């Protein structure tokens, strides 16, 4: 490892502003109100629960108490990249070094966090300090978007409710949003349309979905969808095949709407929900290594005029995604998701993508953050791996028989494309 070169590259990349194409930030608050909010992020509760089992329970309603309870467990996860995110938050935003993080000091940290995070203007200070220029959100169809600052926030539509739609409560929610019962395919199209119109009026980024492992897309006739709808309205339960059929139908409907409104559809492929029975909230999901993108051939081919930024959860789908982006014009590899969002797997995928996918198609990273505080440390983790990959490429290029010299300027231009220019061009959100 050429530490001097990596460091020089990193420092230049770190200066670049942050354009974050996928977060779960709540735009009405944006930042955390205290360190308890930060520690409630599932990474800390799940790792703490994993290291020192507490049946998945923490005092989530009481951030002060949560802080007190979780602090003694943090020493057990101090080796993790996730703990390092927390340390950057502490150092950069709270002015507290690592040495402050011992169990008995929890109240000092708590008080300091209130002082910083609970003051008016903290969000704006944070945005300036972290140099955040654009934050994409993940929104439910009925989220309140009135007053959204579309110069900074970009709403994106969670499409799970339309696609994994198999219970009465979900249907009633959508009916309420539509303003009438959903009993026909036409009604379903209407609620999709109404949703897209609402989102378009607020600067919609894209439709998005985190998709179960081994999802399959295929053509579903309206009549077949109507039959499923009739049975659902009558209260008949759907079996696995029915759910798969509706899933394919629902995804096609959303893709139709993306086409109509010229919006991308961001796929996040491969999660297994609710498999760990004793986990913390949002800490019960895993993934399946047995998963292929072959299930997406139909939707990617049929909606050839829709762009599909795509993230995959399993390392075993990494080369499939690279190959898809290599030949498919409408697939854009996007970031490094969840269990693949750690140095080892980022390092491999970055190299693969840079070597064989047209550079203009690469969306470098997204933070997946729940509070704006997490955007900076997560991007730093990625930027460091990117700097390592680019430094290696610079060194290799000097002696590689086929390559031209890959200069520092070339490296920084590629980083800027991946981090800023490509995501802005692909989403059309400048």
Q: Which of residues 373-392 bind a copy of itself (CB under 8 A)?
A: 377, 380-381, 383-384, 392
How many whole angstroms separate alpha carbon 162 and alpha carbon 158?
A: 9
Q: Which is nearer to a copy of itself, 31 or 330 (CB)?
A: 330
Is residue 234 a contact point for a copy of itself (CB under 8 A)? no
Which residue is associated with the tokens 């139908």? 249
Q: Which is nearer to a copy of itself, 7 or 140 (CB)?
A: 7
Is residue 395 a contact point for a copy of itself (CB under 8 A)? yes
Stretch that binds a copy of itself, among 21-29, 130-138, 243-251, 394-402 (CB under 8 A): 394-402
Task: Give the one residue of 34, 139, 217, 340 binding a copy of itself; rule: CB under 8 A.
Answer: 340
Contacts for 270 with CB less than 8 Å, ≥ 6 apart: 211, 212, 213, 287, 288, 291, 312, 313, 314, 317
Residues facing residue 157 across a β-bridge: 139, 207
How many whole angstroms separate alpha carbon 102 and alpha carbon 251?
A: 48
Task: Give the one residue of 20, 37, 46, 143 binding a copy of itself; rule: CB under 8 A.
Answer: 46
Task: Give the one residue of 20, 37, 143, 320 binding a copy of itself; rule: CB under 8 A.
Answer: 320
The pairing of beta strand 132-136 with beta strand 153-154: parallel
CA dihedral sign, ordered 256, 258, 264, 265: negative
The pairing of beta strand 265-272 with beta strand 286-287: antiparallel
Whether 345 and 318 have beta carbons less than 8 Å apart is answered as: yes
Is residue 343 a contact point for a copy of itself (CB under 8 A)? yes
Give me Rg for the CA atoms of the chain.
22
Is residue 422 a contact point for a copy of itself (CB under 8 A)? no
List binders of a copy of itself among 245-274 (CB under 8 A): 272
List binders of a copy of itself among 183-222 (CB under 8 A): none
Is residue 6 a contact point for a copy of itself (CB under 8 A)? yes
Q: Which is nearer to a copy of itself, 42 or 243 (CB)?
A: 42
Task: Give the one residue of 114, 190, 354, 408 binding a copy of itself; rule: CB under 8 A.
Answer: 354
Is residue 310 a contact point for a copy of itself (CB under 8 A)? no
Among residues 191, 143, 130, which one has the least CA distance to residue 28?
Answer: 143
List binders of a copy of itself among 270-309 (CB under 8 A): 272, 275-279, 283-284, 286-294, 297, 300-301, 304
Task: Give the one residue of 7, 29, 129, 260 binding a copy of itself; rule: CB under 8 A.
Answer: 7
Whether 379 and 18 have beta carbons less than 8 Å apart is answered as: yes
Burial 274-283 (b: 16+ CB within 10 A, else e): eeeeebbeeb
Is residue 355 a contact point for a copy of itself (CB under 8 A)? yes
Among residues 41, 34, 35, 69, which one has the least CA distance to residue 55?
Answer: 69
Give the end-to-end CA distance of the chain in Å, rounded to a whole number.
36
List binders of a copy of itself among 130-189 (CB under 8 A): none
Q: Which is nearer to a copy of itself, 257 or 346 (CB)?
A: 346
Site string for a copy of itself, 85-104 (x = CB under 8 A): x-xx---------x------
């Amino acid at each position: 490892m050429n530490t001097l070169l990596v460091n020089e590259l990193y420092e230049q990349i770190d200066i670049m502003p942050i354009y974050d194409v996928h977060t779960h930030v709540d735009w009405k608050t944006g930042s955390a109100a205290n360190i308890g909010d930060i520690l409630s992020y599932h990474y800390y509760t799940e790792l703490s629960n994993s290291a020192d089992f507490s049946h998945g329970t923490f005092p989530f309603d009481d951030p002060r108490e949560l802080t007190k309870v979780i602090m003694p467990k943090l020493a057990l996860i101090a080796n993790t990249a996730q703990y390092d995110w927390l340390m950057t938050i502490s150092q950069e935003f709270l002015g507290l070094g690592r040495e402050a993080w011992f169990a008995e000091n929890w109240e000092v940290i708590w008080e300091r966090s209130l002082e910083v995070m609970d003051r008016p203007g903290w969000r704006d200070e944070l945005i300036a300090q972290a140099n955040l220029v654009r934050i994409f959100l993940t929104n439910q169809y009925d989220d309140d978007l009135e007053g959204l600052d579309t110069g900074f926030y970009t709403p994106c539509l969670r499409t799970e409710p339309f696609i994994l739609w198999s219970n009465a409560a979900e249907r009633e929610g959508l009916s309420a949003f539509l303003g009438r019962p959903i009993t026909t395919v036409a009604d379903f199209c209407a609620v999709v349309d109404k949703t897209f119109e609402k989102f378009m009026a607020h600067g919609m980024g894209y439709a998005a979905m985190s998709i179960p492992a081994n999802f399959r897309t295929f053509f579903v006739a309206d009549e077949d969808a109507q039959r499923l709808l009739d049975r659902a309205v009558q209260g008949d339960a759907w079996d696995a095949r029915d759910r798969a059929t509706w899933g394919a139908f629902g995804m096609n409907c959303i893709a139709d709407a993306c086409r109509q409104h010229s919006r991308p559809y961001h796929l996040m492929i491969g999660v297994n929900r609710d498999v760990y029975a004793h986990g913390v909230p949002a800490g019960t999901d895993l993934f399946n290594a047995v998963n292929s993108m072959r299930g997406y051939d139909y939707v990617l081919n049929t909606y050839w005029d829709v762009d599909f930024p795509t993230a995959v959860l399993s390392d075993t789908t990494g080369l499939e995604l690279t190959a898809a982006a290599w030949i498919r014009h409408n697939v854009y590899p996007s970031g490094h998701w969840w269990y693949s969002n750690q140095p080892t797997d980022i390092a491999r995928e970055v190299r693969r993508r840079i070597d064989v996918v047209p550079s203009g198609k690469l969306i470098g990273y997204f933070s997946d953050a729940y509070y704006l505080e997490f955007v900076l440390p997560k991007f730093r983790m990625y930027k460091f791996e990117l700097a390592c990959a680019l430094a290696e490429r610079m060194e290799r290029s000097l002696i590689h028989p086929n390559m031209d010299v890959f200069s520092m300027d070339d490296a920084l231009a590629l980083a800027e494309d991946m981090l800023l220019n490509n995501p802005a061009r692909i989403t059309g959100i400048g």
